[in-house]
Amino acid sequence: MSNPNNVSLNINHDLEFIDGHALTIPTLSILTEDGDIHPSATAPTISKHTALKLYETMRFIRLLDERMQGAQRQGRVSFYMQCLGEEAAVTASAAALDQNDMIMAQYREQAALHYRGFTLDQFMNQMFSNELDLGKGRQMPIHYGSKELNYMTISSPLGTQIPQATGYAYGQKVKHIDAKTGELASTIDNVTICYFGEGAASEGDFHAGLNMAAVHKAPVIFFARNNGYAISTPADEQFKGDGIASRGVGYGIKTIRVDGSDALAVFAATQKARDIAATQGEPVLIESIAYRLGAHSTSDDPSGYRSKDEEATHKVCPIDKFKKWLIKQDWLNEEDDAKAKEVIREDILAALKRAEKVQKPALEELISDVYDTPIPSLTRQYNDLKAHIKQHPDAYPVTAGRIK
């Protein structure tokens, strides 16, 4: 090997350390807050249909988040997490993908799922864990998943989806590799996008996943949502480097940082990232910078760790910014937008009332498809559980009445 250490041997005779912030990473911004294109920026090519679908998705998710936050406070659902302030980052990135690209989300990417076609009733059925829930009531609220829409089911542990995304993406690439040369023989049909917050980037899985993707050249787009806080921990107490983007460069991955409140910038960056992943068969890291406007979840109170003055300073609404651009294209008007919001609010409330009246899944759904045929130990556990519920029906009022 000519370079067994795999390093750039630029010999220097002066004792000199490289500063941790020697690399300055720019942030791509295309839209102004007034909905204009920055004079020196180039807007991506986006159709009216895609732009309106993108906006309608963001608008829907904002209204869904508002209603479900209230539903949790009323005790109708146990838990909720809003996408407040990050709607453009999630929706615009999803809009730049192919429908068959795999999405591996963290837990704030409901907009990507709705953009793909997940219906209002499907959202509600999942959050109420009823018998129409695709996950059969086995998950916490907002832990969505859809095989049909290529959206991997969300899991609560942070960062587990990152190495999984690398492995899945490498599998997407393998069928396009020439068996004789070992090189990429054709453009990869579909790639994987993996969403996570800057807090999850402190997990070991982040480093393992990115290094593996870089070494094996997996066609995965790592989308880091840097919203400033990992629950209550501010970013400056999580890391001292230049955000998450600097780590991508360190791992030898093509990297870009974008204004996450700018739908056009996110769309352009993800579109290019997908092209790199599909044609060159290698990973890309996108770091989105968008302030988390709300609490981490319904279990969190941000007033305990950040001030109202700080929140006001960063109160940039990505939906309003994109809406102003659409109006200037004559693709949207205020009157129609206001009417649509009222219809959506009514639809959400009606769907909520429908979902909470649907029965919970039958008890046997707990083990029905864990294995093709339940194994003896699982069957014994199930029978013990059923006997316990029959013995204490008052403690399990929903389930007890349905046990045969």
Catalytic residue ranges: 292, 296, 305
In the block, tokens 């790592």 appear at 222
Please answer whether residues 129 and 108 qualify as being in contact, where contact means their C-beta atoms are separated by less than 8 angstroms.
no
Which strands, in side-by-side order, build the sheet including 254-259?
Answer: 27-28, 254-259, 284-289, 220-226, 192-197, 102-104, 151-152
- What six digits make up the tokens of 62? 């904002």
Bridge pairing between strands 151-152 and 102-104: parallel
- How far apart CA 363 and CA 399 sit, in angstroms, is 7
Among positive and negative, which fits the CA dihedral 332, 333, 335, 341? positive
Tokens of 319: 């939906």
CA dist 236 → 9, 130, 243, 323 (Å)? 33, 41, 9, 32
* Rounded distance between C-alpha atoms, residue 29 and residue 264, angstroms: 8
